[in-house]
Homo-oligomer: A and B are copies of this chain.
Amino acid sequence: MRIIETIDEVRQALSTSKGTIGVVPTMGYLHPGHVSLIERARQACDCVVVTIFVNPLQFGPNEDYDRYPRDLKRDAQLAEQAGADFLFTPSVEEMYPRPNQVGLTVRGLSDKLCGASRPGHFDGVATVVTKLFHIIQPSHAYFGQKDAQQLAIIQCMVEDLNLPISIVPCPTLREADGLAMSSRNVYLSEEERKQAPILYQSLLDVTKALDQGAFSHASEVVNSIHEMFKQAPLGDIDYVEAFTYPDLQPIENLSDQPIIIALAVRFGKTRLIDNVIWSRKEESPCFEQ
């Protein structure tokens, strides 16, 4: 695996590449969730590029850009073991030599869920992902279902802007106790870590209840999760929402349409997210296994 830091060099390296190119865009501090994306790209593509870039454009002024965890040496080992051909790790100066005057703006899909408390976040995500797509020119790009809103927005962006790229959604990987893998999990104190599995546990409980027909309205699902969080006093709920999926429209009366149940919870300064996609149909391809 070759580590490349400049745009010119990665373009040069890929210019002789034949066949499909799979890209796995990440912010680094790789965990098994990222590894599973890289392995999936390796199985499907002739050339696999992992990118590591902690994108300042998608962090708000009071967010964790400066303290976001970084460990390039370990990341390089993990990416290589998972089968990456290239690791692209540009600096902020390489990606933004001057303040961007032209960027992407996301309407509609970005004003809810994580977008509501992180204004401009998804504009920053869409802009950097587009830049990376233009630099790498992949045929396939791999994104985790854990960031479901990001995935929906990127899929929408690819359609709206006619990007010649297939977006491949990949299932969320979890710790043994169900906590979704995230680079931010390292921030958690011991006590917070003990309570954090409540995110997924509450989602599992409501999907079980949904399967049994216990709820007919989305608000009951949301209220039920709020109720469960009384068991996790360190968790401060940012949002719990149920929307149609993948178009993220409000829904109240539950029908056969797939829904996403998503939540964001702060443990101290650490903000964790999780979601499940649920559909009444038994063999929905959307249902997360």
**B residues less than 8 Å from A7 (CB atoms):** 162
Partner of A102, one of B101, B104, B131: B104
CB-nearest residue of chain B to A109: B101
Q: Chain A residues in contact with chain B, CB under 8 A?
A: 7, 11, 100-109, 123, 126-127, 130-131, 134-135, 137, 153, 156-157, 160-164
CB-nearest residue of chain B to A153: B102
* Beyond known contacts A134-B163, A137-B164: 13 more, CB 8 A cutoff: A7-B162, A11-B164, A101-B107, A102-B104, A102-B105, A102-B107, A102-B126, A102-B157, A102-B161, A130-B161, A134-B162, A134-B164, A135-B162
Tell me, in angstroms, the Cα distance from A75 to B131 when the chains sit together: 34
Tell me, in angstroms, the Cα distance from A160 to B134 when the chains sit together: 11
**So how many copies of this chain end up in the complex?**
2
Shortest beta-carbon distance, A250 to chain B, in Å? 16
**B residues less than 8 Å from A105 (CB atoms):** 102-105, 123
**A106, A107, A137, A162: residue with the most chain B Cβ atoms closer than 10 Å:** A162
Tell me, in angstroms, the Cα distance from A226 to B109 when the chains sit together: 47
Q: Is the CB of B101 within 8 A of A160?
A: yes
CB-nearest residue of chain B to A97: B159
Shortest beta-carbon distance, A257 to chain B, in Å? 18
**B residues less than 8 Å from A107 (CB atoms):** 100-103
**B residues less than 8 Å from A11 (CB atoms):** 164
For this complex, 27 residue pairs linking A to B, each with C-beta atoms less than 8 Å apart, are: A7-B162, A101-B106, A101-B108, A101-B156, A102-B105, A102-B106, A102-B107, A102-B126, A102-B153, A102-B156, A102-B157, A102-B160, A102-B161, A103-B104, A103-B105, A103-B107, A103-B161, A104-B104, A104-B105, A105-B123, A130-B161, A131-B160, A131-B162, A134-B162, A134-B163, A135-B162, A135-B164
